[in-house]
Amino acid sequence: MFKRNYLGRHLWIYPAIFILPSAALATPSQGTGAAWDIVEGLTTEIGPRLAGSAAEARARAWGAKKLKSLGFHNVRVEEFKTLAWRRGEEHARLAAPYDQPLAITALGFSAPTPKGGLRGELIYFPTLAALQAVPEGALKGKIAFIDHAMRPAQDGSGYGPYGDVRRKGPSIAARKGAAGVVIRSVGTDSHRNPHTGVTTWDKDVTPIPAGAVSNPDADLIARIAPRGKPMSIDLMLENTPSPNATSGNVVADLPGRDPSLPIILVACHLDSWDLGTGAIDNASGCSIVTAAALAAQQGGPTLRTIRVLWSGNEEMGLEGGGGAYYAVRHGGEAHALAMESDFGADRVWAVSYAMAPANKALTEKVSAALWPMGVVPHAKPARGGSDIEAIIAAQKLAVIDLGQDGTHYFDLHHTADDTLDKVDPAMLQQNVDAWAAVLKVIANELGPIAQAKAGKD
């Protein structure tokens, strides 16, 4: 602040302040231990790891080296071929009735716009159901906009139904004759960061350009639509399919005392979307399961072998991702139980099970180990996730889910904001502690571990 003195010169008046050393200003939180070392290293030294890319290959090599250095055995990179995709230039403007720039990103497997871009009338649909109700061919030459109303939830339950706007909406719009489709990002934030993610195309549908705008831009379109003035959009999405690309899994073991017993599998996915550095999705998951496996064996080897799977191409894998490949390659090996971490790094608050009634005492022992951490049993059956669902189905495995607080997860999910500074080291360690508590129990269980209504392992 300043005021003028009687000579007209500026006199600066400084309020009383304390000047901190520059090193103390805006210093990001730093963690310690194996988990932080992994999430920090992977995001710093590799960064975005789009499936099928050179960066994902570097991440596999990085991961194999890291796991060996941590003392894991039988560390191997298992490559496979997959359909992948590359992002190109992307931008959009609302051309009418008001000229407005839009923050947009292409959805995975979007078709490219024609050379020079695409301009078309923008037709607003408040819900996916409203789009589904339109007759086939009704949108010929037009661009559909699909809105929705995803809200934060601790268990992230809105991602299923509202995520269908992204997963299924573009294919439905194409079936209605649309030349392109734009959706409200599947996210719960109010930042001008669009959320990417994969879309799936029906086999009898020709893919069209498909993008997502940020929530503030979706709000803008929703405000304009009731005014009754025709809307049009200029759209540029230059994307390239990458068939027969190379992805791969990183697999490593901590051998147990009794190699004849079926193993415990803990999994994450190594790939990420390309907008951020994949810190919460899913470098944190890989760091959690790996550090927890090490912690479970700190006092000596567990009875059962603990296997870590860092899966490739989860984000765009559909039916051909790393989880499916793992089940094919390792389906002949006996597994007892599988767990997955792929929901960020916020606090674990619940545990759920898919285990046989005969294992009631085991689930009670796990719950008791988690109770002092404030982690409580949840009635919803455990399901695992995409990195383990194929092996669970193939061998009818028991499953334990550790539910993380997802209230803010979809603020960051698949955006440029998915970066290391969003990972709280204390919460990351709480995840590791909860996972380690579970592994110390189940990996030392001598008796059969089985899924409900399944046979013995």
pLDDT in tens, 218-238: 999 999 999 999 999 999 999
Buried b (16+ CB within 10 A) or exposed e, 112-121: bbeeebbbbb
What's the pLDDT at 3? 38
CA distance 306 to 441: 12
- Of 46 and 24, which is predicted with more confidence? 46
Span 149-165, pLDDT tens digits: 999 999 999 999 999 99
Span 296-328, pLDDT tens digits: 999 999 999 999 999 999 999 977 899 999 999
Using pLDDT thresholds of 50, 70 and 90, give the confidence band for residue 279.
very high
Using pLDDT thresholds of 50, 70 and 90, give the confidence band for residue 30.
confident
What's the pLDDT at 229? 98
Catalogue all structural domains in the chain, each as residue range(s) with its CATH number.
33-84+245-442 (3.40.630.10), 88-238 (3.50.30.30)
Span 5-27, pLDDT tens digits: 433 434 333 344 333 443 333 34
What's the pLDDT at 452? 78
Using pLDDT thresholds of 50, 70 and 90, give the confidence band for residue 46.
very high
Asked if the model's pLDDT at residue 187 lies above 50, the reply is: yes
Span 354-407, pLDDT tens digits: 999 999 999 999 999 999 999 999 999 999 999 999 999 999 999 999 999 999
How high does pLDDT run on average in the chain?
93
Asked if the model's pLDDT at residue 292 lies above 60, the reply is: yes
Q: Could you write out the three-class secondary structure of the chain?
A: CEEECCCCCEEECCCCCCCCCHHHCCCCCCCCHHHHHHHHHHHHHHCCCCCCCHHHHHHHHHHHHHHHHCCCEEEEEEEEEEEEEECCCEEEEEEECCCEEECEEECECCCCCCCCCEEEEEEEECCHHHHHCCCCCCCCCCEEEECCCCCCCCCCCCHHHHHHHHHCHHHHHHHCCCCEEEEECCCCCCCCCCCCCECCCCCCCCCCCEEEECHHHHHHHHHHHHHCCCEEEEEEECCEEEEEEEEEEEEEEECCCCCCCCEEEEEEECCCCCCCCCHHHHHHHHHHHHHHHHHHCCCCCCCCCEEEEEECCCCCCCCCCHHHHHHHHHCCCCEEEEEECCCCCCCEEEEEEECCHHHHHHHHHHHHHHHHHCCEECCCCCCCCCCCHHHHHHHCCEEEEEEECCCCHHHHCCCCCCCHHHCCHHHHHHHHHHHHHHHHHHCCCCCCCCCCCCCCC
CA distance 182 to 194: 11
CA distance 216 to 234: 18
Asked if the model's pLDDT at residue 99 lies above 60, the reply is: yes
Using pLDDT thresholds of 50, 70 and 90, give the confidence band for residue 29.
low
